[in-house]
């Protein structure tokens, strides 16, 4: 019995991203790291190629726009990554961003002198409520996450439309201190980008260094083995959806600071872009593999492609086509990786 327990304890102590290079898991981790390196190279080539074709692309304003746009997407992608690591998905993030952005704007209309920290906390709290609904549906109600979050996507958006009634929050209703989250800079770097870096770094440390973070990997690698190893799978899944919702609510407040004007359609459809960034960023849709760095690089690649297409005067419809191709390529790479690892394990077992 003791031997059986020790066999299944490995996923918690050494998730896929941290195993030694000599094991099949370590081989998978090395491939994942090489994919992150490949993404970085692709990012550099995209910037250099577009800069050669259109020198005006390499100006400070375009760089600023990329950082501002990607900051919000990368936050949402990081929250989505935590959920995907456990073989789940959260399609409600776009609607959560929309509700949070309008709610925080409404608070500023009612309380013009509200401190910025209170506004950000309000957005985060709204996201926590949305995340708790998803968490209860998936972890307690046992509803498949695809079905549960697709439902809440429409429920949250419908509630937003019913509340807004065609209304709109304008930038003139926001205090300068709040708007400076997007317009301000520190050492030449947009404040919004610095906020995103702090949150992303915190999440990366949580997933790598803390037991709770490693359990996300363990659940995605093998849910039953994780359960046998003592992981409270339901509680960890709930925590993942709460984290994703909280980040989406926080991102909604930042969205308001970034764009100033919000209505019931704010961030509509952005969830697909977030999923695309995560998958392109080497986060396996089958769970257990992925990093915050990879997800962020995926968001950066898609963000640069979006700006590059505008600069090159290419139809925006190509952006969706390119995203689709990148998703297919990423999933194909994951499939090939999984088959390669399986063959290595069988070969090792045969030799053993």
176-183 helix and 233-259 helix, angle to the nearest 10 degrees? 100
Could you tell me if 99 and 156 are in contact, meaning their C-beta atoms sit under 8 angstroms apart?
A: yes
More confident position, 280 or 335: 280
Q: Which SS3 state, helix, strand or coil, does residue 108 take?
A: helix
Count of alpha carbons within 13 Å of 148, Cβ hemisphere only?
A: 20
Residue 169, beta-bridge partner list:
262
Contacts of 112 by beta carbon, 8 Å cutoff, 6+ apart: 173, 175
Sign of CA dihedral 213, 203, 40, 307: positive
| Cα 143 to Cα 178: distance, rounded to the nearest angstrom | 38
Measured CA distances, 155 to 95, 115, 131 (Å):
9, 30, 13
What integer pLDDT is reported at residue 306 of this predicted model?
A: 87
**What is the average per-residue pLDDT within 81-108?**
96
CA of 72: how far to CAs of 75, 179, 271, 307, in Å? 5, 15, 12, 15
pLDDT digits (tens, 9 = 90+) for 173-223: 999 999 999 999 888 889 999 999 999 999 999 999 999 999 999 999 999
Banded model confidence at residue 56, pLDDT cuts 50, 70, 90? confident
DSSP 137: I
pLDDT value for 9: 41
Three-class DSSP category at 189: strand
Residue by residue, what is the 3-state secondary structure of 259-319?
HCCECCCCCCCHHHHHHHHHHHCCCCCCCCCCCHHHHHHHHHHHHHHHHHHHHCCCCCHHH
How many CB atoms lie under 10 A from the CB of residue 331?
A: 15
In angstroms, rounded to a whole number, what is the distance separating the alpha carbons of residues 30 and 140? 36
The Cα 128–Cα 115 span in angstroms is 20
Q: May I ask the CATH class of domain 56-351?
A: mainly alpha
Tokens of 294: 């990879």
Alpha-helical (H) ranges within 17-84 are 24-53, 60-84
30 token code pair:
């090395």
For residue 150, the model assigns a pLDDT of: 96
Please give the mean pLDDT across all residues of the chain: 86
Write out pLDDT tens, residues 98-133. Answer: 999 999 999 999 999 999 999 999 999 999 999 999
Does position 349 have pLDDT exceeding 50, yes or no?
A: yes
Which residues make Cβ contacts (< 8 Å) with residue 11, sequence separation at least 6?
A: 217, 218, 221, 222, 225, 226, 229
* pLDDT for residue 333: 75
pLDDT tens per residue across span 138-181: 999 999 999 999 999 999 999 999 999 888 999 999 999 999 99
pLDDT at 285: 87
pLDDT at 161: 94
For residue 26 the two structure tokens come to 């370590």
Whether residue 304 has pLDDT greater than 80: yes
Q: What is the DSSP string of 103-158?
A: HHHHHHHH-TT--HHHHHHHHHHHHHHHHHHHHIIIIIS---HHHHHHHHHHHHHH
Q: Say what the pTM is.
A: 0.85
- Torsion sign (Cα): 304, 256, 83, 213: positive
**According to the model, what pLDDT value does residue 294 have?**
93
pLDDT of 325: 84
* Residue 230 CB coordination number (10 Å): 11
How many residues in total does the chain contain?
352
Rg (CA), the chain: 21
Range with the lowest mean pLDDT among 2-16, 189-203, 213-227, 337-351?
2-16
Q: Are 302 and 276 in contact (CB under 8 A)?
A: yes
Task: Kindly indicate the confidence band of residue 33, based on its pLDDT and cuts at 50, 70 and 90.
Answer: low
Q: How far apart are CA 325 and CA 51, in angstroms?
A: 23
Predicted confidence at residue 24, as pLDDT, reads: 39
């Amino acid at each position: 019995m003791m031997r059986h327990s020790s066999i299944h304890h490995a996923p918690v102590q050494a998730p896929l991203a941290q195993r030694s290079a000599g094991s099949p898991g370590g081989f998978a981790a090395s491939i994942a790291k090489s994919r992150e390196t490949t993404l970085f190279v692709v990012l550099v080539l995209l910037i250099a190629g577009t800069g050669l074709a259109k020198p005006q692309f390499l100006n400070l304003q375009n760089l600023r726009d990329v950082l501002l746009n990607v900051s919000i997407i990368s936050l949402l992608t990081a929250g989505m990554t935590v959920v995907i690591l456990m073989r789940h998905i959260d399609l409600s993030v776009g609607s959560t961003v929309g509700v949070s952005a309008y709610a925080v704007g409404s608070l500023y209309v009612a309380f013009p002198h509200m401190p910025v920290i209170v506004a950000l906390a309000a957005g985060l709290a709204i996201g926590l409520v949305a995340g708790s609904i998803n968490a209860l549906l998936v972890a307690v109600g046992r509803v498949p996450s695809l079905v549960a979050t697709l439902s809440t996507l429409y429920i949250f958006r419908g509630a937003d439309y019913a509340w807004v009634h065609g209304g709109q929050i304008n930038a003139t209703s926001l205090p300068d201190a709040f708007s400076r989250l997007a317009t301000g800079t520190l050492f030449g770097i947009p404040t919004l980008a610095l906020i995103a870096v702090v949150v992303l770094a915190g999440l990366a440390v949580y997933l790598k260094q803390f037991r709770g973070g490693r359990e996300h990997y363990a659940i995605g690698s093998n849910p039953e083995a994780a359960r046998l190893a003592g992981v409270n799978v339901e509680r960890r899944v709930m925590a993942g959806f709460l984290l994703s919702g909280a980040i989406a609510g926080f991102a909604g407040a930042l969205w308001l600071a970034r764009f100033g004007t919000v209505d019931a359609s704010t961030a509509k459809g952005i969830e697909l872009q977030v999923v695309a960034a995560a998958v392109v960023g080497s986060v396996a849709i089958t769970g257990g593999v992925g990093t915050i760095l990879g997800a962020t690089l995926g968001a950066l690649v898609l963000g640069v492609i979006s700006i590059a297409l505008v600069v090159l005067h290419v139809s925006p419809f190509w952006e969706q086509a390119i995203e689709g191709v990148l998703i297919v390529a990423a999933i194909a790479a994951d499939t090939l990786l999984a088959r390669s690892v399986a063959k290595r394990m069988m070969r090792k077992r045969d030799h053993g």
